[in-house]
Structure formats: C-alpha cells, structure tokens
Structure 1
Amino acid sequence: MIRTQLTRRMMALVLLAAATATATAQAQAQAQAADTLRPEVGKPLQAAATLLKAKHAREALTKLGEADAVAGKTAYESFMIERMRASAAQQAGDTATAAGAYEKLIDSGKLAPAEQDQMIAALTGADYQLQRYPQASQWAVRYLKTRSGDPQMTTLLLQSYYMSGDCRSMANELHGVRSPAETSLQLLANCYLKQHDSANYLTALERLTASYPSAAYWSSLLRQVQSSGVFADRLALDIYRLKRAAGAFGSASDYMEMAQLALAGGYPAEAGRVLDQGFASGVLGSGDEAARQQRLREMARKNLLQVKATAAQQPDVNDPEAALDRGFDMVLGGQPEAGLPLMEQGVAQGRLKRPDDVKLHLAIAYYLAGQKVKAVQMFKTVKGEDGTADLARLWMLRAQSS
C-alpha cells in the first residue's frame, strides 16, 4: 500500500516535470528551424512539430527518425531533434524513448540550469517507471545536489533505493534528518524486513515508533523483540506491562493473559488492577467468558489478601527478593509511595539472583511513580542479553516520548 501511494504521487510529479521541460520544444523548433537547421533536417522536424500539435505523437516520432537519419548533423541539429523527440515520446507514452532523449539533452550542455534540473527530474521518473531503480537513484542524487531537500525528489530517491533493495543507502540518506517523514521511515523498516535483516529492522522500527508513536507500531516493535532468539520466556509479563503503558493493549485476551501471568508470577495486586480496568472498560464481564473472567478476578482478590496477611505475620525485610517482589506489586497496584521504599531496600541488601531483572523492574516502578529521570538513569544500567536490555531500551523510548 505504501509503495502504490508513493508511486502514483511521484508519477504525477514526474509527468509534470517532463511536460514543463519539453513544452517549449515545438515552439523553439518552429521559430529557429529556418535560420539554424539545414532543410534536410528542418523539414522533417517541422513536420514532426505539426503532427505533435495535432496530437499525432507516433507519427511525429517517425518524422523525427527521418531527421535523425541525416548524415553529418551538427550538435545543434541533434539537440533540436532530441528536444522534439522527448516531447513526442512523452505524449506517445513511450517512456524508454523519452528517457533516452532526456539523457542526451542533459549531456548536451545546451540546457539552462533550471531546465537541466527539470530534465533530470523527468529522467529520474522515467527510469523509475522503467524499473531501472539504480539509475533512478543516481539521477535523483544528482538532482538533489542543486536542489537539496526537495521533498518530492527525496521521496523518489528513497523509493528507488527501496525497490533496488539498497537499505544502506536509504539509511545513510535518512541519517541525521531530524524529522523524517513517516512514509520514509516506513520504507526503511520495510526494506530491512524484505532483506530479512532483523537487527536493522528492529532499529528502524524503533526510530519509526519514537517519531510516530502508535499502538500499531508499538505492537510490531514488541513482537519483533519477543520473537528474537534470545528473549527469555520469563519476560512475557514485562512485554504486557510495556504494551499497557504504550497504549497497545486492550483486548479481552490481553487482560486475561496478563492477569494470569501476573498471578503466576506472584503479583496479585497487578492482576487485580488489570482485571478491574478490563471490567471498567466493558471489555470483560460479558459474553460467554464472563463467568471465567469473574472467577479470575475473585482469585486475584483472594491472593492479594493472602499476601497481605502473610507479609503482616512474616515481614520480608531480611529477604531482598521477597521485598522486591512485594514492593513492585504494590507499585503496580497503584501504591508507589509504599512500594518503592521496599524495592530500594531490597536492592540495597544485594544478594540478587537476577540483577538485570531487578534493575528493569525498579526502573519501571520509577516510571510508573512519575519519576522519569530516575527511571531513565536506571534503564541505562540494564545490560542483560536475554531481552532485559531490549526491554529497558524500549521503556526509555516510551519514557522519553510520553
């Protein structure tokens, strides 16, 4: 869909450039033929101009072939023939012939700078239309040397790189651009996806999501991270946490699966809050699954009461892992003022089984508590190669864009 929309728009621009570049060919040939062209060249050229004016482009091309067959043509005679040929071929829909004429006119050195640029734009589009994508990208680069930043030609350049599979050149073109168009970043991501380059696809998808955050982009980004071969299964609940924070969450299966994972992981307050949100939004509580959903809600409430009772009888102040889990669940349940001190206390005690998990969760807790500066600082310390560092990086992206 992206390719079709861009191609139609660019083809319209290309045709406009070609029409502008060749519109004066007929008039110039008529005005100058008698003074500067030999009769054997000027006569068929004049006939071609007349045919072209009458919309008989194919016949005009035949006459131009007669003029071109004359031996010993001067540079000017050849130039005038090619000008008329470009106009006739364009009108006839003969893109290949038009492209050949455009290139000869550009190489002639007889075009004024503005018209030279118009002719290069027309040739870029013609090569693209002919699926000669490397040539199209070369002409687009040349055009942008004198008209840097032209949005239409930049789009055509990126499209040409995409069609030829030159993702590296596309990335170089977008490097350093502060606010690239959404379609440009989409093309870059799709280019890497087409090349099965997972690492660079993820990087491009992150940039796209950072610049144009949406539920769809976040969902794609999280799927890509989770599908990597190194992502630990135990982090599935953390994926849901980020989906929920990023607004890419909300189906009945999202609520139920996240709540079940939270209960299984020992986070009943989080499970209860997620389910309460599902019922309040109307997503849960009706239909064939309503009874099951209600049972899970009651289970979360009972588990939370049991955890609170156990904590009251056996405080977990000397168990860093228990303090961390309990504190994190309190933050997730909407009590950061009580949960954060417990988490910080657990971190201070050390003796942690998975330090990167702990740092990730503490950073998430800071974020949920509204302490974004602390959150980002903590996310930066997560270095695990099992998916924790990836999640930390994405949480930073979320923190910095919210």
Structure 2
Amino acid sequence: MTRFTKPMIAALLMGGMTAVAMPAHAAKKEAAPVTGIDQKNLSKNGRAALVVAQKAEAAGDLPGTLAALRAAEQAGGLNDTDKMFIAQMKLGLGNKMKDEALLTEALTSSLDNPLLPAADRSKYTRVVADAAIKRRDYKTAVAMYEKMIVAEPNNPDNLLNLALIYRDLKQTPQAIATLSKAIDARKAAGTKAEESWYQTRLQLAYDAKTPDVGSASEALVTDYPTATNWSNVLNIYRDAVNADDQLNLDTFRLMRAAGALGGERIWQEYASTALEKGLPGEAKKVLDDGIAAKKLTGTKPIEKEIASVAAPKLKADQASLPGLEKDAAKAPNGKTALGTGDAYYGYGNYAKAAEMYRLAVGKSTGVDQATANLRLGAALTMTGDKAGATAAFNAVTGTPRAQLGKYWLVYLGQKA
C-alpha cells in the first residue's frame, strides 16, 4: 500500500496556505502646517529670523529660506513658540521641495514641542512612522506606533501596523500578541477583523512553532469556517503533532465532516489509512464520496489498489459486527468495543458506533481514553446529539488529542 510521507504533507501545506494579503502600512499623506499658534509669544531673535526666512520664501528662494531657519536654530536662544514656527516653516518647505528628510525633521521637531495641538499630534506621529517604515527605520516606526497606541489603545489599525512592523523585524511573539490585540479591538468595536488578520497570525505562529498555533487556528475556523481554512488548520495540526495513523484517522473524520478534505492526495491518504486500520467500509465510502465529489477519478493506481483490497472484505466484515458487539460486551477491556465502534462509524452507522465507543469508555482499560472519548464525540456529532458530543469532547485530555477535541467543538458549534 502506498505510504504518504511527511514531506508530502508539508508540500500540501505550502500549497494550501496561500500568501495572505494584508493591509499595507498606511500611505504617507502630506502633513499640513498647524494654525492657531500665537505669534505674540515669539522672542526677539525668533521673530527676526522668521522675517528673513519669510522674505526669502516670498522671493521663491527655498534654499535661502531653509538656510535662514537653520541659522536661527544654530544661534540658539529660541523659545517653544519660535521652535514651532520654524518647524512649521520647514514643514511647508518639505512639502514644496518634496524633501522626505526635511519633512521628517519638521514633523519630529513639532512632535517634541508642547505647543503642538493634540488633534495634529496623532496625524504627525503617523506620518513620521510611515516615513520611517519607508526608509526601513523600524526602531523609529515602532516608537511612533507605540505612542499612537498609548493615545488610542483600542485603535485596531494602529495595532495592526505595529504588528506588521514586528513581523518585518522577525519579532514573532510581539507580532502575534499585537495582532491578537488588533483582532480583539475590532471585535470590541462590534465588527469582525479581516480574514487575512487571522490567517497571518496563524502563519506566524506556525512558522515559529509557538504555542499560539492552537488558539490562532481555532479563532480562524470559528470566525471564518471556510473549507479552505478548515483544511489548512487541520493539515497544520497533523504536521505540528507528527500525527500517526490513528490520529490521522481521527483528523480525517473531522475534515470529512467539515467538507475540508481538499484535493486528491488527502482523500487518497484517508482511504489508505482507513484500509490499513482494518476499516474496509470506511475506505470504500471515502473512495466513493471522493469520486462523486470529482476529487478522485477511481482510476489512479492507489485508488484502484484500495478498491481492490477493500471490496472483497466488505461482506464478511459487516457480517461479523453483531458477533463483535457481543464479544465487546463480555470483554474485560474496551479494545474490542473501540474497534467495533470504528467499523460501525466507517459504515455510517453512527448510533451503533456511539454505543460501542461509550462501552469502550466505560470499560476504561485496554484503550486510550482520549481516543475513545474523541471518537464517541465524533459519532454523537454525526447523530446530532450535541450535548452528548460536547461532554465527550470535553473529556478528551492530553497532547495531542485535546486540541483535536477543541476543533471538533468548534465544528459542533457551527452545525445547524
């Protein structure tokens, strides 16, 4: 039987998790000079310097204007009003001369001045931050966005842009934490963050192998339960925990329920895994469903091999189930009950499967309780018993199945 290797799974993940289109850093806007600064507070030196600069500007001598302003700064003895007028003249010059460095200098001087009105402070800070990003001065950009967040702690766009800067700096923990705050801020404001925010958070967590993968993936499929997101999340889960065949079987069952088996390879792997675990009915059903969904052709060598091995076993396998039920009831442990439940699940008899899984849980020995409870929850989900399924999934503990139980709970909450 063909084996599906981890590199093949990794390749699938790379193909499935497409590049996320995130909002760009805020575009630079022309910063307008402020108004309302009282000229009567100009010092004698400051007033004289400004007169010289204004005459040069009126004559169209922009370099001369800047030289007069710099001369005044070098001479010293300026008060806050002088400095504000000089900074504002520089701002106007920067806009006229299209001089990014001069604009940043003027804006930074204005931000350092206590006379800058609060209404302008936020705008100026953003423009300085965007200019810093443009020249890859991330230290300044971070400082500016942190100031904006202090002023507006629940502004999701500011939080998003700071998260993107942290991402660019490869400061992944800070990027994830800040992006989470941005998503929460959107929710607090009564709107849902864009899907790309959730996807990027998950991609960051997955690439860095941080513990945030679980919560980030749950949030994505909770708020954006598309087939693609479910497929990506569950394939990431399989890869992250290095799932064995038994855990793969459990994961494939959720993918199938969520309509998230994706492309040909996962359908083939699911059918192959089911057959190898002694479940010809489930293997045949997966092949049939894949062909009906046009995900499989039925003509590929692996598909023909699975069908040829599974078909002769179906009649005897189904005929053996009533006897296995009796054996399971008398058995000292839950092993036979678990296996019989698996067979019933594969044939779509979820009520009988639930009976067997419940018996396996009750016998407590001979089976992994996390596996038994997880499969009991899955069978009850398929029968529509939400309360019973919820209780079973909540009883799943330990790594790695507890996380899969959480994914099932998310899916259960989405079922009509």
- Using the size of structure 2 for normalisation, the TM-score is 0.78
Aligned to 1:393: 406
> CA 1:250–1:120 in 2, change beyond 3 Å: closer, same or farther?
closer
Corresponding residue for residue 307 of structure 1: 317
Which residue number corresponds to residue 141 of structure 1?
Answer: 146
**Deviations along 1:128-166, whole A, 9 cap, x unmatched?**
323233432332232244445334323222222323344
Instruction: State the secondary structure of the residue aligned to 2:23.
Output: helix
Following superposition of structure 1 onto structure 2, how do residues 143-158 of structure 1 map, counting pairs within 5 Å?
A: 143-158=148-163
Aligned residue in 1 for 2:3: none
1:4 shift after superposition:
7.7
The yes-or-no answer on 1:370 pairing with 2:384 is yes
Secondary structure of the equivalent of 2:240?
coil
Q: Is the contact between residue 231 and residue 262 of structure 2 (CA under 8 Å) also seen in structure 1?
A: no
The whole-number CA distance in structure 2 between the counterparts of 1:231 and 1:94 is 57
Would you say 1:239 and 2:244 are equivalent positions?
A: no
Q: Is the 8 A contact 2:49 2:69 kept in 1?
A: no
1:352 match: secondary structure: coil
Distance 1:97 1:183, change over 3 A: farther
Question: Deviation at 1:29?
Answer: 11
Tell me the CA shift for residue 266 of structure 1.
Answer: 1.9
Aligned counterparts of 1:337 and 1:360: Cα–Cα separation in 2:
15
Q: Which amino acid aligns with 1:360?
A: L
User: Offset at 1:63?
Assistant: 5.3
Cα distance change, pair 330–220 in 1 and its aligned pair in 2 (3 A): same
Q: What is the aligned-residue RMSD (CA, Å)?
A: 3.6
From 318, 335, 339, give the equivalent of 1:325: 339
CA deviations over 1:225-266 (Å, ceiling 9, x no partner): 223366444322222222222332142322222112112212
Residues 297-356 of structure 1, C-alpha deviations (whole Å, 9 max, x = no match): 354343221112233566434244223322333234222233322332343334323222
Equivalent pairs counted in the alignment come to 386
Q: Offset at 1:66?
A: 4.6
1:128 partner letter: I
Give the structure 1 partner of residue 271 of structure 2. Answer: 259
Q: Which residue of 1 aligns with 2:396?
A: 382
CA–CA distance in structure 2, aligned partners of residues 2 and 134 of structure 1: 26
User: Which residue of structure 1 lines up, in the alignment, with residue 23 of structure 2?
Assistant: 6
- 1:59-208 alignment runs, 5 A limit: 61-62=66-67, 64-173=69-178, 174-175=180-181, 176-177=184-185, 178=187, 179-193=192-206, 196-208=208-220
Higher deviation after alignment, 308-317 or 153-162: 308-317
Counterpart CA distance in 2 for 1:61 and 1:40 is 11
Rounded to whole Å, the distance in 2 between the matches of 1:108 and 1:222 is: 53
**CA distance, structure 2, for counterparts of residue 298 and residue 40 of structure 1:** 94
> Could you say what secondary structure the match of 2:358 adopts?
helix
Which amino acid letter does the alignment assign opposite residue 285 of structure 1?
A: T
TM-score (norm 1): 0.81
Per the alignment, do residues 342 and 73 of structure 1 end up closer, same or farther by CA in structure 2, a change over 3 Å counting?
A: closer
CA distance in 2, matches of 1:394, 1:321: 25
The answer to whether the 8 A contact 2:351-2:380 is kept is no
Match of 2:362 in 1: 348
**Kindly tell me: are residues 98 and 211 of structure 1, through their superposed partners in 2, closer, same or farther at Cα, counting changes over 3 Å?**
same
Helix, strand or coil at the partner of 1:266: coil
Q: Does 1:293 align with 2:303?
A: yes
For 1:162, the aligned partner's letter is: R
| Offset, 1:200 | 2.7
State the percentage of identical aligned residues.
22
Deviation at 1:359, TM superposition (A): 1.4
Could you tell me which runs of 5 or more consecutive residues in structure 2 were left unpaired when the two chains were aligned: 1-17
User: Quick check: 2:344–2:353 contact (8 Å CA) kept in 1?
Assistant: yes
**Which segment drifts farther, 361-370 or 199-208?**
199-208
What is residue 9 of structure 2 aligned with on the other side?
A: none
- Residue 369 of structure 1 and its aligned partner are, at CA, apart by 1.7
In structure 1, C-alpha distance between the alignment counterparts of 2:22 and 2:99, rounded to whole Å: 23
* Cα distance in 1 for residues equivalent to 2:322 and 2:84: 94
Q: Which moved more, 1:61-70 or 1:214-223?
A: 61-70
Describe the shift of the 1:102–1:155 C-alpha distance in structure 2 as closer, same or farther (beyond 3 A): same
